[in-house]
């Protein structure tokens, strides 16, 4: 499907994609009436522009009958969820000499973009430059730049600038708020250098200046800066000065009155004497020229430092981009050593403003570039082009910052006041922001923010908490689990509740969402895979716990997805991903910045209500009594905090004998009937009662606690046929001895007879 065509006498640019209708429909619902005038298009060469028109069944239509270089307030045709094919057809306008280096080629800082384009010659002076670009997670302005040699053999540099929109996020409003909040907390983190697209911002004075920002501004002003330095060297601002000389009378052209009278008084001997005279001369050693020389030295030194750092960080920089930067270094060196500046002294600053620097041609442009390179960026729409980090990464960090603010709001804590307090004043919020900056750079480092709640709870918010085989507290025996955000609530009695959140910059296609028979314009859906991942997070972390490493009374309560979903009205509460929270405590919350003029941080208040429930409204038991955190297991409040627990397990005689010989007690762990239902405190179980339905023997357990094992491992340990094991996973308790500590216990005496394994209190056994 062709979505754009740019045509002129020299070349035709065509952009196409497999499908973009669904992306447009989602984008239009996202931004509303602004969709048809959302962006601008700009070309370096006067051309005619044609765009696919949503109102005309996406047919390609010419925007205007006349050629232009700028088209304002048009609709976007490129979206960050799609891959696009670019083709430039040259109309008998090329000089082709057989040297591949002279063939038309794309210019971009990213080497991968340059390498994806190939040139195919179709005639002696024509051909095609074709390639594809995937804009995944890279919304913003995109400059498609290319070079070729025309029929006169002159190098032509052309470019076409267009906008890549997002069907998930309003990048002109939502993204601005997201980056502004991140920049407020972690200054300049949002910027990057080697990016596919870029954003435009205004300049303002800042305390610090990011290297990437500096280099981006430098690229936008360096060519004009060098041109004006050369202009000044050819037409400098000179200053007239009067110099006094001593010479013979015949060499003096202008006499002052005093020396002229002296000459007359000397009479015939006057020619034998020397006389003083004054002469006005122009000099380039002015304070303005000294400033230009100073700016060359300072900017050249700064540039070499920044380029060295950026080149070491970004290995994917295109070779031509590197060559262009190295050429800038040579230009700085050549200009600094030019003969003109040898007659210019050292810059000593300005005692007052210079009208020449602000008004005169050449000097004013240099002074403007100097001011730009001394300032940072303000996150408002402007003209300075700069790359941004991937939008999914920005969204993830923004979700963490929103969670921090919502927790503080829920606990009625002034976040700015508390974070500003020194440690000896015992602030209610504790955070080391330097740790966050490390965790942003290193994915294996987590960041912690702690809150003291009014009810005595300690609330801990963590970014990128990692569970793996090397974890000191809670391990996973399989793959590493790293939820983006984790909240743990430590109760005064030591009971710990854990909630997992994962930020996903992904939204399910509307066409797949109609199964619920609801208006697709009401709200978005998270991807099913994202919901399933929360099940995997919770189950993998929980089932891997060992008693000797597991904190007492710690429970993984729920897992939730945070996604950029649209919400309108109360209908969102009827969506399955929200209703599932009350049923299994796994679900999703839509999270987008609040609209302009609306109070609050976010559009939908469901997440805020959820935080109020877990932080303020419910006791520890109320939070867990209806949740089913581990594959259908249920809680029993009657034995909460009971340390003397007994696992009651019915088995036939040969099975009981086998367990006693191997000194283990095992019970199935799964959804099905007959599974062992865990309860808080189960990890401190002290005894196992192995019975035949009527009477049983009581065995003391080791302090190793409970562990989980797959069917195959248990089968090998017991040397039995796997078909006898009807479940995939089993919970295993180790017997301290083959000899029971109590025998002939009458089972119906302490409860209803049941064949399913379960827990009881030791006191209910009736043993003195």
pLDDT tens digits, 385-419: 656 678 888 898 899 999 999 999 999 999 888 88
pLDDT tens digits, 690-717: 988 888 899 999 887 788 788 888 888 8
Encode 616-655 in three state secondary structure.
Answer: HHCCHHHHHCCCCCCCCCCCCHHHCCCCCEEEEEECCHHH
**Orientation of helix 211-234 relative to helix 319-336, angle to 10°:** 50
Higher-pLDDT residue of 58 and 277 is 58
Residue 490: band (very low, low, confident or very high) from pLDDT cuts 50, 70, 90: confident
| First-to-final CA distance of the chain | 83
pTM for the whole thing?
Answer: 0.61
- Residue 53, judged by CB atoms within 10 A of its CB (0-12, 13-18, 19+), counts as middle
Residue with tokens 């089913």: 628
* Most confidently modeled range among 165-169, 193-197, 370-374, 514-518: 165-169
What is the predicted pLDDT for the residue at 513? 47
Residue with tokens 């089968």: 715
CA distance 354 to 440: 45
What is the predicted pLDDT for the residue at 492? 74
Tell me which residue of 603, 506, 492 sits closest to 553, measured CA to CA. Answer: 492
* Most confidently modeled range among 345-359, 370-384, 643-657: 643-657
Residue 481: band (very low, low, confident or very high) from pLDDT cuts 50, 70, 90: low
Q: Are 138 and 80 in contact (CB under 8 A)?
A: yes
pLDDT tens digits, 66-81: 999 999 999 999 999 8
Q: Answer yes or no: is pLDDT of 475 > 50.
A: no
> For 16-36, what is the mean pLDDT?
86
Q: Answer yes or no: is pLDDT of 523 > 60.
A: no
Residue 506: band (very low, low, confident or very high) from pLDDT cuts 50, 70, 90: confident
pLDDT tens digits, 231-259: 988 888 877 767 777 887 877 777 777 87
Tell me which residue of 570, 587, 569 sits closest to 578, measured CA to CA. Answer: 587
CA distance 756 to 670: 12
Q: Of 17-26, 126-135, 543-552, where does mean pLDDT reach its minimum?
A: 543-552
Domain ranges of the chain: 2-167, 191-236+286-388, 239-283, 400-624, 637-765
Tell me which residue of 502, 518, 505 sits closest to 570, measured CA to CA. Answer: 518
**Orientation of helix 711-718 relative to helix 653-662, angle to 10°:** 90
């Amino acid at each position: 499907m062709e979505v754009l065509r740019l045509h002129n006498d020299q070349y035709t640019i065509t952009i196409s994609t497999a499908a973009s209708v669904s992306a447009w429909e989602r984008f239009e619902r996202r931004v509303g009436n602004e969709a048809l005038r959302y962006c601008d298009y700009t070309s370096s060469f006067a051309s005619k522009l044609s765009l696919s028109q949503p109102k005309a069944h996406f047919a390609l239509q010419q925007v205007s009958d006349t050629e232009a270089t700028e088209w304002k307030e048009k609709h976007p045709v490129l979206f960050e969820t799609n891959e696009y094919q670019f083709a430039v057809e040259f109309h008998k306008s090329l000089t082709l000499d057989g040297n591949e280096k002279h063939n038309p080629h794309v210019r971009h800082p990213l080497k991968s973009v340059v390498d994806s384009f190939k040139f195919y010659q179709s005639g002696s002076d024509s051909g095609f430059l074709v390639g594809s670009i995937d804009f995944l997670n890279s919304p913003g302005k995109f400059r498609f730049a290319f070079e070729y040699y025309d029929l006169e053999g002159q190098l032509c540099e052309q470019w076409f600038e267009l906008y890549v929109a997002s069907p998930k996020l309003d990048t002109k409003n939502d993204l601005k708020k997201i980056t502004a909040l991140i920049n407020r907390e972690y200054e300049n983190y949002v910027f990057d250098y080697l990016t596919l697209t870029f954003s435009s911002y205004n300049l303002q004075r800042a305390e610090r200046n990011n290297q990437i920002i500096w280099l981006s501004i430098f690229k936008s002003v360096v060519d004009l800066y060098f041109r004006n330095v050369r202009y000044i060297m050819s037409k400098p601002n000179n200053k007239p000065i009067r110099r006094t000389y001593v010479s013979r009378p015949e060499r003096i052209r202008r006499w002052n009155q005093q020396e002229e009278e002296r000459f007359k008084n000397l009479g015939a001997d006057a020619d034998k004497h020397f006389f003083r005279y004054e002469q006005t001369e122009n000099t380039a050693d002015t304070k303005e020229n000294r400033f230009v020389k100073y700016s060359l030295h300072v900017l050249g030194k700064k540039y070499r430092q920044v380029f060295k750092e950026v080149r070491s960080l970004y290995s994917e920089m295109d070779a031509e981009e590197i060559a262009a930067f190295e050429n800038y270094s040579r230009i700085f060196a050549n200009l600094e050593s030019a003969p003109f500046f040898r007659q210019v002294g050292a810059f000593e600053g300005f005692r007052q403003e210079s009208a020449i620097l602000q008004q005169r041609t050449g000097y004013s442009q240099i002074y403007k570039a100097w001011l730009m390179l001394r300032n940072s960026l303000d996150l408002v729409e402007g003209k300075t082009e700069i790359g941004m980090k991937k939008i999914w990464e920005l969204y993830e960090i923004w979700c963490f910052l929103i969670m921090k603010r919502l927790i503080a709001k829920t606990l009625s804590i002034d976040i700015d006041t508390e974070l500003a307090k020194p440690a000896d004043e015992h602030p209610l919020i504790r955070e080391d922001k330097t740790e966050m900056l490390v965790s942003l750079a290193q994915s294996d480092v987590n960041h912690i923010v702690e809150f003291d709640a009014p009810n005595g709870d300690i609330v801990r918010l963590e970014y990128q908490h990692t569970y793996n085989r090397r974890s000191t507290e809670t391990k996973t025996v399989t793959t590493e689990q790293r939820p983006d955000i984790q909240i743990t609530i430590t109760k005064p009695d030591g009971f710990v509740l854990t909630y997992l959140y994962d930020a996903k910059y992904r939204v399910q296609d509307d066409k797949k969402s109609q199964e619920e028979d609801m208006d697709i314009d009401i709200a978005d859906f998270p991807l099913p895979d994202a919901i399933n991942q929360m099940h995997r997070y919770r189950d993998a972390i929980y089932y891997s716990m060992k008693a000797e490493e597991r904190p007492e009374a710690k429970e993984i309560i729920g897992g939730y997805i945070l996604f950029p979903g649209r919400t309108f009205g109360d209908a969102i509460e009827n969506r399955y991903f929200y209703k599932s929270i009350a049923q299994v405590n796994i679900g999703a919350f839509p999270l987008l910045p609040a609209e302009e003029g609306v109070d609050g941080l976010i559009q939908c208040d469901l997440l805020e209500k959820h935080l109020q429930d877990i932080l303020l409204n419910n006791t520890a038991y109320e939070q867990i009594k209806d949740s089913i955190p581990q594959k259908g297991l249920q809680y029993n409040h009657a034995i909460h905090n009971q340390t003397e627990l007994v696992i009651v397990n019915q088995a036939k005689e040969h099975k009981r004998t086998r367990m006693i010989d191997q000194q283990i007690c095992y019970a199935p762990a799964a959804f099905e009937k007959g599974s062992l239902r865990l309860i808080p405190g189960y990890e401190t179980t002290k005894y196992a009662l192995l019975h035949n339905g009527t009477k049983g023997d009581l065995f003391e357990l080791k302090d190793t606690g409970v562990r989980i094992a797959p069917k195959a491992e248990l089968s090998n340990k017991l040397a039995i046929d796997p078909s006898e094991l009807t479940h995939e996973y089993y919970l295993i308790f180790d017997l301290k001895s083959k000899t029971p500590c109590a025998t002939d216990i009458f089972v119906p005496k302490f409860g209803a007879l049941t064949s399913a394994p379960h827990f009881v209190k030791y006191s209910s056994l009736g043993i003195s």
